[in-house]
C-alpha cells in the first residue's frame, strides 16, 4: 500500500491533515517547485525565494524525521511546470494506491485539483484544511441568508467557539468584545519599537536566491537584505521576540504610520503563518496568556486575537463563499488603469512613495499602509479592482489569493458593493496626516484642499463621493458626508471636482507586463 501525499508550498505544517494517521512506510510525500505557481502572477522575487527556501527546509526536516520525500526542484529535467503535471508524473513513478491531499488555499488550484481524479489511475482524497478554526462549510452556514456579512458578529461566534478572552460567565474579557477604538493612537513620541530578529540566508536560501535572480530576474522587488524566517524554528524565534518586546504596544499603535519605520509594533509574522510555519490559534493562546499574566494590556491582546479569529478566519470564509464572482466584482464600475508609480515608486506623494518603497524592499507593508494609503488611493482614483488585486497579489510575501482578494476587492475597494465593509474605507489627507508623520515632508499639504499644492487625496475624496453618489447615498453610515457636500457652495464643489480631474489626468498608466507575463 502506497499513498502519495502532495504538500503544497503554503502547507508546511508537520501536523497537516494529509499526514495525520499516515505511517512513514506507506507514504511518499510529494513537494513540487513549479513554474506555474511562480508566474501565474509575477510574484515579488522575495516571495518566490521565501516559498522555495521554506519548502526545501521543510522537506529536509520531514526526511530527517524519517518521511520519504520526493522533492521536485524547479530546474529538474522533465519538470512539467504545474501541480497537475507533477502529480501525474509522480503517480507514474510511485504507482500509489491513492493520492491524499489537503484542499488548497486558492480557487484556481482547487479547480485544477478537482480534475486530478479524472486524470489519475487512482482515487484522490481532498481533505479540509484543519489549520483554520472555521471550516469553509461552517462559514457558509453562518453566511447563508445574511445580507451583510458583518465581521464583528462572526468574530464573536469565533470567540465563543475558541473560548479566547472569554470569562466563565460567557461574557467577553473586560466587558467589551472589541477594543478597536483603543487601537488608533497617532504616532507621537515613543515610536522606537525594538527591531525584529532577522535571519541571514543560509546555504539553502542563498542557492534559492541565486535561482530566483536567474529565472525570475524581471519580477518586481528586491532580494537584497532578504531576512524572512524560512523554518519553523526561525518563525518561533520571531514570535518569541514579538511577544516579549512588541505585543505590549501593538494595540495602541496598530493604525500608526511612520516614514521609514516598516515594522513598528506589528508582529511581522504573516509570512510564516501563511506558509504554515506558525499556528495562529497557538499565537492567540500565547497572547491571551500574556494578558492573563498581566504582561500585556487588553487592547493589544484583543486587537491581536481579533486579527486572527476575526479578520483572518473571516476573509478566508468570505473568499470561498464569494468566489468565483469576487475576482471580477466591480460594484463601483472603476475602470482606470493602475498608475505606473505603484511599480516604480516615483511619486511626490510621500505617503505612497514610502509604502511602495517598503513594499519593494521588504515585500511587506503593514495593514494601515495597505488599506488607508495604497488601497485608499486606488479606491478614490477609481482604479480597476482586477489591476489593483493583481498588484497586491504580486508584491507581498504573505499574499495568497484567499487572503489578498477579500482584503483588496471587498475591504479596500468596495468592489463587492458592501458585502464585507459597511462603508467604503475612503479618507482624505486629514486621516493620513493624523495617523502618520508623512505629510510634514511632503510636496503637498493636507491642509490645502484644492489647486496647486493640495494633497491629492483631498479633491479625490470628494470626486469619489460625488461620482459614486447613486451607489452610496442610501448608506446611512455616509449620509453626513453628502450633507456636508450639499452645504458647500457650487463654486467650492466645482473646485474640488476640477482639482481631482487634474490629479486623475496626471496619472500615467503602468506599462503592461509587470503583474502578468505579456
Ligand atoms: P500584524 O499587524 O502583526 O497582525 C497580526 C496578524 O493578523 C497578521 O500576521 C495576519 O495573519 C493577521 N491579519 C491582520 N489583518 C488581517 C486581515 N485584514 N486579513 C487577514 N489576516 C489579517 N494579509 C495577508 O496575510 N496576505 C495578504 O495578501 C494581505 N493583503 C492585504 C491587502 C490589503 C488591501 C489589506 C488592507 C490587508 C491585507 N492583508 C493581507 C492583511 C494585513 O495587512 C497583513 O496580514 C499584515 O499587514 C501582515 O503583517 P503582520 O504580520 O505584521 O501583521
Ligand atoms: C506561491 C508559491 C510559489 C511561488 N511557488 C510554489 C511552488 O513552486 N510549489 C508549491 O507547492 N507552491 C508554491 N507556491 C504556493 C502556492 O501558490 C499555493 O500553495 C497555492 O496557491 C495554494 O494556496
Ligand atoms: Fe500623502 Fe497627502 Fe500627506 Fe502628501 S500631504 S503625505 S500626499 S496624505
Residues 232-271: tens digit of each pLDDT: 999 999 999 999 999 999 999 999 999 999 999 999 999 9
Shared domain for 120 and 253, answered yes or no, is no
Place of cell 511546470: 81
Whether residue 154 sits in one domain with residue 110: no
Same domain for 453 and 372?
yes
Q: What is the CATH number of the domain that holds 286?
A: 1.25.40.80
Using most ligand atoms within 8 A of CB, pick from 16, 18, 34, 37 the residue to mutate for ligand 2: 37
Last residue of a domain, one of 74, 102, 127: 127
Residue 45 is predicted with a pLDDT of 98
Write down the pTM of the prediction. Answer: 0.98
* Ligand closest in space to the Cα of 36: 2
Which of 380, 455, 459, 460 should be mutated for ligand 3, with most atoms under 8 A from CB?
Answer: 455
Ligand nearest to the CA of 8: 2
In a domain, 94, yes or no: yes
Which residues approach ligand 3 with their CB closer than 6 A? 349-351, 429, 432-433, 438-439, 442, 444-446, 455-457
In angstroms, what is the span from residue 328 Cα to ligand 1's centroid?
A: 22
Neighbour-count burial of 8, counting CB atoms closer than 10 A to its CB (0-12 exposed, 13-18 middle, 19+ buried) = buried
Please check whether residues 371 and 410 belong to one and the same domain: yes
* Same domain for 56 and 169: no
Give the residue from 238, 306, 317 showing the smallest Cα distance to 278.
238
Residue nearest to atom 1 of ligand 3 (CA): 351
**Which CATH number goes with the domain that contains 93?**
3.40.50.620
Average pLDDT over residues 326-334: 98
270 lines ligand 1 (CB under 6 A): yes
404 lines ligand 2 (CB under 6 A): no
Residue 190 confidence (pLDDT) above 90: no
Question: Measured from the CB, is residue 284 less than 6 Å from ligand 1?
Answer: no
Share of the chain above pLDDT 90, in %: 96
Task: Give the domain-ending residue among 322, 351, 385.
Answer: 322
84 touches ligand 1 (CB under 6 Å): no
Angle made by CA atoms 284, 289, 294, in degrees to the nearest 5: 130
The phi and psi torsions of 222 (rounded to 5 degrees) equal -110, 145
Question: What is the SS3 assignment for 145?
Answer: coil
For the residues 85-114, what does the mean pLDDT come to?
A: 98
What spacing in Å lies between the alpha carbon of 36 and ligand 2's midpoint?
A: 9
Mean pLDDT, range 203-215, rounded to an integer: 98
Cross-strand partners of 4: 28, 99
The CA distance from 247 to 242, in Å, is 6
- Among 407, 413, 421, name the best residue to mutate to test ligand 1's pocket (greatest count of ligand atoms within 8 A of Cβ): 407
Q: Which atom of ligand 3 is nearest to the CA of 438?
A: 6
User: Does residue 235 fall inside a structural domain?
Assistant: no
Q: Is residue 43 in contact with ligand 2, taking CB distance under 6 Å?
A: yes
Average pLDDT of the residues in 114-142: 98
**Confidence band for 273, pLDDT divided at 50, 70 and 90:** very high
CA–CA distances in Å: residue 2 to residues 24, 94, 391, 501: 10, 8, 42, 65
Decide if pLDDT at 113 tops 80: yes
| Residue 285 resides in a domain | yes
C-alpha 224 to ligand 2 mean position (Å): 22
Of the residues 89, 107, 127, which one is the last residue of a structural domain?
127
Task: Give the per-residue pLDDT at 517.
Answer: 87
Task: Examine the domain organization and report whether 151 and 94 are in the same domain.
Answer: no
Q: Are 12 and 276 in contact (CB under 8 A)?
A: yes
Contact by Cβ (8 Å): 315, 402: yes
Residues of the domain holding 445? 341-505
Q: Are 464 and 426 in contact (CB under 8 A)?
A: yes
34 Cα to the center of ligand 1, angstroms = 26
Nearest CA owner, ligand 1 atom 30: 404
Least confident of 284-288, 432-436, 461-465, 471-475: 471-475
Measure CA of the first residue to CA of the last residue in the chain; give whole Å. Answer: 45
Q: How many domains does the chain have?
A: 3
Distance 270 CA to ligand 1 centre (A): 6
468 and 375 share a domain?
Answer: yes
| Co-location of 295 and 382 in the same domain | no
Shared-domain flag, residues 122 and 146: no
| DSSP conformation letters of 301-331 | HHHHHIIIIIIIHHHHHHHHHHTTGGGG--T
Q: Same domain for 161 and 47?
A: no
The protein residue with its alpha carbon nearest to ligand 3, atom 2, reads: 455
Amino acid at each position: 500500500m502506497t499513498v502519495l501525499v502532495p504538500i503544497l508550498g503554503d502547507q508546511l505544517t508537520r501536523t497537516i491533515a494529509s499526514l495525520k494517521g499516515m505511517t512513514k512506510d506507506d507514504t511518499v510525500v510529494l513537494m513540487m517547485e513549479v513554474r506555474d505557481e511562480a508566474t501565474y502572477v509575477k510574484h515579488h522575487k522575495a516571495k518566490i525565494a521565501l516559498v522555495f527556501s521554506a519548502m526545501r527546509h521543510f522537506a529536509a526536516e520531514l526526511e530527517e524525521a524519517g518521511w520519504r520525500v520526493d522533492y521536485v526542484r524547479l530546474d529538474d529535467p522533465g519538470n512539467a511546470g504545474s501541480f497537475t503535471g507533477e502529480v501525474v508524473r509522480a503517480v507514474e513513478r510511485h504507482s500509489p494506491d491513492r493520492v491524499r491531499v489537503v484542499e488548497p488555499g486558492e480557487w484556481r488550484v482547487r479547480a485544477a485539483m478537482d480534475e486530478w481524479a479524472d486524470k489519475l489511475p487512482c482515487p484522490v482524497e481532498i481533505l479540509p484544511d484543519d489549520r483554520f478554526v472555521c471550516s469553509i462549510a461552517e462559514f457558509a452556514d453562518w453566511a447563508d441568508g445574511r445580507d451583510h456579512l458583518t465581521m464583528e458578529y462572526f468574530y464573536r461566534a469565533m470567540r465563543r467557539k475558541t473560548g479566547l478572552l472569554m470569562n466563565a460567565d460567557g461574557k467577553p474579557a473586560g466587558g467589551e468584545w472589541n477594543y478597536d477604538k483603543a487601537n488608533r493612537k497617532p504616532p507621537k513620541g515613543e515610536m522606537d519599537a525594538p527591531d525584529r530578529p532577522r535571519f541571514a540566508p543560509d546555504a539553502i536560501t542563498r542557492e534559492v536566491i541565486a535561482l530566483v535572480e536567474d529565472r525570475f530576474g524581471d519580477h518586481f522587488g528586491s532580494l537584497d537584505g532578504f531576512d524572512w524566517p524560512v523554518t519553523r524554528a526561525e518563525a518561533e524565534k520571531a514570535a518569541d521576540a514579538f511577544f516579549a518586546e512588541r505585543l505590549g504596544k501593538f494595540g495602541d499603535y496598530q493604525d500608526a504610520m511612520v516614514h521609514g519605520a516598516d515594522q513598528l509594533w506589528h508582529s511581522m509574522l504573516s509570512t510564516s503563518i501563511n506558509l504554515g510555519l506558525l499556528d495562529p490559534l497557538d499565537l492567540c493562546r500565547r497572547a491571551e496568556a500574556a494578558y492573563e499574566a498581566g504582561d500585556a494590556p487588553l487592547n493589544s491582546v484583543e486587537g491581536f486575537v481579533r486579527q486572527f479569529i476575526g479578520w483572518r478566519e473571516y476573509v478566508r470564509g468570505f473568499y470561498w463563499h464569494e468566489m468565483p464572482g469576487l475576482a471580477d466584482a466591480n460594484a463601483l464600475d472603476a475602470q482606470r488603469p493602475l498608475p505606473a508609480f505603484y511599480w516604480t515608486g516615483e511619486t511626490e506623494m510621500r505617503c505612497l512613495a514610502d509604502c511602495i518603497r517598503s513594499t519593494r524592499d521588504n515585500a511587506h507593508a503593514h495593514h494601515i499602509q495597505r488599506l488607508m494609503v495604497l488601497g485608499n488611493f486606488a479606491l478614490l482614483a477609481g482604479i480597476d479592482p482586477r489591476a489593483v488585486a493583481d498588484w497586491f497579489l504580486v508584491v507581498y510575501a504573505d499574499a495568497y489569493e484567499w487572503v489578498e482578494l477579500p482584503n483588496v476587492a471587498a475591504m479596500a475597494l468596495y468592489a463587492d458593493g458592501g458585502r464585507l465593509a459597511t462603508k467604503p474605507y475612503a479618507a482624505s489627507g486629514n486621516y493620513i496626516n493624523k495617523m502618520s508623520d508623512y505629510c510634514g515632508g511632503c510636496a503637498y499639504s493636507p491642509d490645502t484642499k484644492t489647486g496647486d499644492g493640495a494633497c491629492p487625496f483631498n479633491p479625490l475624496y470628494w470626486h469619489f463621493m460625488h461620482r459614486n453618489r447613486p451607489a452610496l447615498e442610501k448608506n446611512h453610515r455616509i449620509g453626513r458626508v453628502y450633507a456636508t457636500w450639499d452645504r458647500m457652495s457650487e463654486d467650492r464643489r466645482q473646485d474640488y471636482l476640477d482639482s481631482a480631474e487634474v490629479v486623475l489626468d496626471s496619472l500615467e498608466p503602468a506599462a503592461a507586463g509587470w503583474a502578468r507575463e505579456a
